[in-house]
């Protein structure tokens, strides 16, 4: 019986300066896995089982789990494309907290689509899979955005093109940077955090957004870390969303005074991230955030790098 196991990492959406168009995959430096996993096995009929530390926070009806939606969508597309299909049973290992700002739904979606594509012999190419992933992410958050699914699937830091092919391009990353992330333990719904944003932005904000994104991409390509960090401010979402994040301003003040190069909200929060030049500063910021930003036993923090690999297959235990 064929079994496929797939892992898809956590990610930072927006990265402060690229609302909905910029994202980065995450990998803790200590090697701890930080992402959802799926195991897919040939079966008589479709069935979803959930396991893992955050499984109990998922909707109890498997039909409302995003992984089930991914399965039906994938199978429909296979049939439309003339492929033969056979049912599978899926186990989702829900390792990422829901509503955390770490691309939790994206991680489940990417693990499911990537795993199914591998299981069925890669019927779909990268861009087609990405379009499917974005579509499903849109069903959860209320609008299609690729800033979590793209880095989660492909790894690295990715910039969305707004085109069907390529959906995304990979940016160079500053290899020296450490990315501290801290999840406070509370849940913030992405769709609610989108609804509090104004539907239009003033001209001055649009000009700042465009300038920052252009300069950031230029700085990454020329390896200018100082210039890149200098434009990592969120003029679109953070001014509104930080009211949903208790302790946000204190956390930013501490991180910046401690030598962090940038600080912001990961996705729609409540996870925050700090960019640091060296491991010592990163560990000091992580320790402070652990002691002061975390609000309950679900919270955690990690010092991370941006991995070049995104979703991957894992060895199946016999
Ligand atoms: N496999 C899944 N992973 C995460 N959320 C899921 C999953 N299946 C269904 N959901 C539902 O989707 C919504 C995800 O909320 P959202 O705030 O977008 O999470 P996140 O920002 O962590 O991706 C929640 O209502 C959750 O119950
Ligand atoms: N660009 C999106 C990113 C949401 O990320 P999540 O991890 O909170 O789902 C947004 O800012 O709404």
Say which CATH number the domain at 271 has.
3.30.70.890
Contact by Cβ (8 Å): 70, 117:
no
Query: What is the pLDDT, as a whole number, of residue 317?
Result: 74
Query: What is the pLDDT, as a whole number, of residue 174?
Result: 97
- The answer on 140 and 38 residing in a single domain is yes
- The answer on 78 and 216 residing in a single domain is no
Asked whether the CA dihedral 138, 153, 33, 241 is positive or negative, the reply is negative
Question: Measuring from atom 1 of ligand 2, which residue has the nearest CA?
Answer: 20
- The answer on 14 and 31 residing in a single domain is yes
**Whose atoms come closest to the Cα of 62: which ligand?**
1
What is the β-pairing status of strands 178-183 and 272-276? antiparallel
Q: Is 298 helix (H, G, I), strand (E, B) or coil?
A: coil
Q: What is the mean pLDDT of each run of 10 residues along the chain (318 residues)?
A: 95 98 98 97 96 96 97 96 94 98 97 98 96 93 90 98 94 97 96 94 98 98 98 98 96 98 98 97 98 97 98 87
Mean pLDDT of the chain: 96
- The answer on 155 and 44 residing in a single domain is yes
Whether ipTM exceeds 0.95? yes
- The answer on 157 and 269 residing in a single domain is no
Structural domain span for residue 157: 3-171+307-314
- The answer on 224 and 267 residing in a single domain is yes
- Residue 151 Cα, ligand 2 centroid: separation in angstroms? 13
Query: What is the pLDDT, as a whole number, of residue 159?
Result: 98
- Residue 218 Cα, ligand 1 centroid: separation in angstroms? 34
What are the pocket residues of ligand 2 if the criterion is a CB atom closer than 6 Å to any ligand atom? 13-14, 19-20, 101-103, 145, 147-148, 190, 193-194, 237, 267-268
The count of structural domains within the chain is 2
- The answer on 166 and 85 residing in a single domain is yes
Question: Measuring from atom 22 of ligand 1, which residue has the nearest CA?
Answer: 99
- The answer on 133 and 182 residing in a single domain is no
Query: What is the pLDDT, as a whole number, of residue 251?
Result: 98
**Long-range contacts for 67-71 (Cβ within 8 Å, ≥24 apart)?**
67/38, 67/92, 67/108, 67/109, 67/111, 67/112, 69/136, 69/139, 70/108, 70/109, 70/112, 70/113, 70/116, 70/132, 70/136, 71/46, 71/112, 71/116
- The answer on 188 and 135 residing in a single domain is no
- The answer on 146 and 35 residing in a single domain is yes
- The answer on 203 and 129 residing in a single domain is no
What is the β-pairing status of strands 88-93 and 35-42? antiparallel
Report helix angle 104-119 to 126-141, nearest 10: 140
- The answer on 157 and 79 residing in a single domain is yes
- CATH number, domain at 99? 3.30.230.10
Question: Measuring from atom 12 of ligand 1, which residue has the nearest CA?
Answer: 140
- Residue 63 Cα, ligand 1 centroid: separation in angstroms? 13
Query: What is the pLDDT, as a whole number, of residue 173?
Result: 97
At a CB cut-off of 8 Å and minimum separation 6, what does 307 contact? 9, 25, 26, 27, 155, 156
């Amino acid at each position: 019986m064929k079994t496929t196991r797939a892992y898809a990492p956590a990610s930072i959406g927006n990265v402060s300066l690229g609302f909905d168009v910029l994202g980065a995959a995450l990998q803790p430096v200590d090697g701890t896995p930080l992402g959802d996993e799926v195991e897919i096995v040939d079966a008589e009929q479709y069935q979803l089982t959930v396991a893992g530390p955050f499984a109990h926070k998922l909707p109890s009806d498997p039909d409302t789990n995003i992984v089930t939606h991914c399965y039906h969508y994938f199978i429909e597309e296979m049939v439309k494309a003339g492929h033969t299909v056979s049912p599978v049973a899926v186990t989702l290992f829900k390792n990422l907290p829901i509503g955390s700002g770490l691309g939790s739904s994206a991680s489940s979606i990417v693990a499911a689509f990537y795993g199914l594509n591998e299981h069925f012999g890669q019927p779909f190419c990268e861009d087609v899979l990405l379009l499917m992933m974005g579509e499903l992410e849109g069903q959860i958050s209320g609008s299609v955005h690729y800033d979590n699914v793209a880095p989660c699937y492909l790894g690295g830091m990715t910039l969305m093109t707004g085109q069907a092919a390529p959906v995304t391009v990979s940016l160079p990353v500053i290899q020296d940077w450490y990315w501290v992330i801290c999840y406070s333990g509370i849940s913030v719904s992405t769709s609610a955090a989108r609804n509090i944003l104004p539907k239009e932005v003033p001209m001055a904000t649009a000009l700042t957004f465009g300038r920052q994104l252009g300069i950031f991409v230029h700085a990454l390509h020329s390896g200018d870390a100082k210039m890149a960090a200098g434009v990592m401010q969120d003029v679109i979402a953070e001014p509104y969303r930080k009211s949903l994040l208790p302790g946000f301003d204190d956390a930013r003040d501490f991180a910046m005074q401690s030598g962090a190069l940038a600080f912001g909200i990961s996705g729609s929060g409540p996870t925050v991230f700090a960019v640091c030049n060296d491991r010592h500063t990163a560990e000091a910021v992580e320790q402070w955030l652990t002691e002061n930003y975390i609000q309950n036993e679900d919270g955690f923090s990690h010092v991370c790098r941006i991995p070049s690999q995104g979703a991957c297959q894992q060895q199946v235990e016999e």
